[in-house]
Structure 1
């Protein structure tokens, strides 16, 4: 049985609670061996936005369908953006810190057009909020509480499957990151990034073992 399409049910519930401007936020590339982590943000007027057909979690859509949806999502959203954090940044500050950096880059760009009241973050870990202290190790260990933000952030498990704004954000992030990896694949054809998108396939790991990592690999990770 096919999964039910995401809806605006929770976004509309938030609007009824007084959160008129809602952002959906999702990441891609977390488990990749190469390339950036990328975070998509889609901001909507939650009480008045209409459903947009065809949008699902990006993993459930064929590449051509995802790409065709991007213009419709950008037109539908009141504001949107994708932020990235490079492999070097992941190595320097860790994955959680890099996710936060990419997410805040995306939020800063989107919020410059329209600032949200509430952010729906896919998953069960708030990697987006700033820690009170600039200690990324404490943040990664969930020791430091989140600092005040101009919006309320709440995690929601499987939000990319149930919340339309989050699913739309996942599509934007996936398409933009896949485009980056496909472009890099032309410079480094041995690694198959045009198909594996930097993830740890057998052939990708074999190419790393034979040729060594590039500057786009996460060198602190177990690559082989």
Structure 2
């Protein structure tokens, strides 16, 4: 059986560059499915014609590769931005709203002004800037994949720092996702100020 062809991760960028869009922002977020910690989004603009083949979905590269790629992306990008959607925003509204608004925070900070947005997923907020939503965009677009790497490296490092404060929950390895260790600690110790209390945490007990 023949191996399937590798996805063309510049298909959308090349088309947009050929149409005269020079400032294309790839947008992605990480942490939507976590029980603790903020949601984190990133946006990246590359020069037209940029091709970095090793950039791919952050979930399929090793942690060390992600760290090295994160540095390379920051060096090669025209502009990049990383933003947090706070626990309070997640609680006050909802995780979808917080995720989309956090991506928009990245767009608001971009310079030069974005001309087109490539957004991971199937929804985005109303925007005056033209955009395309791409399901599994981190597999289909180099710009989105680059944003996913920046966001994941940033968020993983943040959760490892928070692990030092509350080591029982295993955030140094699960980075806030609902693993057995995390859920067991929630039942035993209760939830912390970093937990998303609007999610099903499996406990009503607040940690003292």
Unaligned runs of 5+ in 1: 130-145
Q: What is the match of residue 42 of structure 1?
A: 44
Please name the residue that 1:137 is paired with: none
Which aligned runs of 4 or more in structure 1 are off by greater than 6 angstroms? none
TM-score (norm 2): 0.91
Comparing 151-160 with 22-31, greater Cα deviation is found at: 151-160
Aligned to 2:100: 100
Contact 2:43–2:81, Cα closer than 8 Å, also in 1: yes
Q: How does 1:4-19 map to 2 (within 5 A)?
A: 4=6, 7-19=9-21
Q: Does the residue aligned with 2:26 lie in a helix, a strand or coil?
A: strand
Structure 1 length normalisation: TM-score? 0.84
CA RMSD of aligned residues (A): 1.6
Does residue 182 of structure 1 match 2:160?
A: yes
- CA contact under 8 A between 2:107 and 2:114: conserved in structure 1? no
| Aligned counterparts of 2:97 and 2:140: Cα–Cα separation in 1 | 26
* SS at structure 1 position matched to 2:45: strand
1:115 is displaced (CA, Å) by 1.4
CA shift at 1:17, angstroms?
A: 2.1
1:208 aligns with 2:206: no
Q: Which segment drifts farther, 23-32 or 98-107?
A: 98-107
Q: What residue ranges of structure 2 are gaps of 5+ in the alignment?
A: 203-208
CA deviations over 1:112-156 (Å, ceiling 9, x no partner): x21111000011122xx2xxxxxxxxxxxxxxxx2x42x212201
Q: Deviations over 1:150-206 (max 9, x none)?
A: x21220112110110000000000000000000000000000000001000111011
Give the total of aligned pairs. Answer: 200
